[in-house]
Amino acid sequence: MSRRGPLGFALYSLFAWSIVALVAFPLLWMVVTSLKPQNELFRRPPTILPQIVTFEHYVKLILETPFPIYFRNSVILAIGTSFAVIVVATLGAHSLARFAYPGRRFLAQLVLFTYLLPSVVLIIPLYMLMVWLGIANTLFSLMLAYTSFALPFALWLLRSFMASIPDDLEHAALVDGASRMEAFFDVILPQALPGIISTSLFTFILAWNEYLYALVLLNRDAWRPLTTGVINMLTSAFNIEWSLLMAASVMMSVPLIVVFAFLQKHLTQGFGAGGVKG
């Protein structure tokens, strides 16, 4: 990182922010469109800023549609999935990183191979499985499905992270009389916290944005997540309710951006330390 004077800093910020603005332009478009009244939508030539600013679409969405319910469902789904992935993946990663048993190396590689299966083929057998387990059409079945999608990546991430935690720490705890599991909770987990945060953010985004499986695996309107709820409600082959859709999209995206802005320090740490070995 080179040191620059204040002018260099300002110029660089300008340059960098123009790139950011370019990438984030669609977000700007979404926000601006959601604030326009319906009769301004399809002006020719198109306008960027609204002539009249109106919040009617947001109000309608929150008060007159099941949008808040869908929002609640997505929150439960995303948090539940993240939690499940963290539990299973930390235990599994710990096992892969710090224990020795036959087939361990093979398992670590096999994990990535599971991503080869195309989603469309997976759907119906997955649904039948859920029916067999008795949890078809529930949020829980989606959590299970998403956990399995996030697991390979989470395992890889956490395993490489845990492998970089020095053995001495764990040894010290064992010498003090702790069992392996106690050492795990007291020593390993806190050290792995940045990796855990990265994993949960990645899983959260996956669970928040997924569409196809939510469409097929869950059909109870009361438990539908945002993706399918909003799309089914506002779009059909014949007609798209653009204003409401843009308002909904903004409300779906902004929380993630806000959360990330606060957590990004931890997130990047998670990746950084994990990938050190080489």
Q: How far is the CB of 5 from another protein (least distance, A)?
A: 12
> Which of residues 53 and 161 has its CB atom nearest to another protein in the complex?
161
Least distance between another protein and beta carbon 53 (Å): 18
Choose between 53 and 124: whose C-beta lies nearer to another protein: 124
Extract the tokens encoding 263. 């957590």
Helices and strands (DSSP H and E) totals, the chain:
14, 0
CB of 220 to another protein, least distance (A): 7
Asked whether the beta carbons of 63 and 128 are under 8 A apart, the reply is no
Residue environment code for 160-170, b if the CB has 16+ CB neighbours within 10 A, otherwise e: bbbebbeeeeb
Q: Which is nearer to another protein, 192 or 252 (CB)?
A: 252
Nearer to another protein by Cβ, of 52 and 261: the residue is: 261
Min dist CB 172 to another protein, Å, is 13
Residues whose CB falls within 8 Å of the CB of residue 251, separated by 6 or more in sequence, listed in order: 58, 61, 67, 71
Contact (Cβ atoms closer than 8 angstroms) between residue 108 and residue 96: yes
Q: Dmax of the chain from CA atoms?
A: 76
Query: Contact at 8 Å (CB) between 211 and 227?
Result: yes
DSSP secondary structure letter of residue 263: H
Give least dist CB 50 to another protein, A: 14
Q: Where are the alpha helices (DSSP H) in 134-178?
A: 139-163, 167-175
Smallest separation (angstroms) from another protein to the CB of 207: 11
172 vs 276, which CB is nearer to another protein? 276
Contact 266, 198 (CB under 8 A): yes
**Closer of 55 and 255 to another protein (Cβ):** 255
In the bound state with another protein, the residue whose beta carbon lies nearer, of 43 and 53, is 43
Q: Determine the Cα–Cα distance for residues 34 and 218; give it in Å rounded to an integer.
A: 28
CB of 151 closer than 8 Å to CB of 85: yes
| Residue 73 near residue 226, CB atoms below 8 Å | yes
* Least CB distance to another protein at residue 233 (A): 6
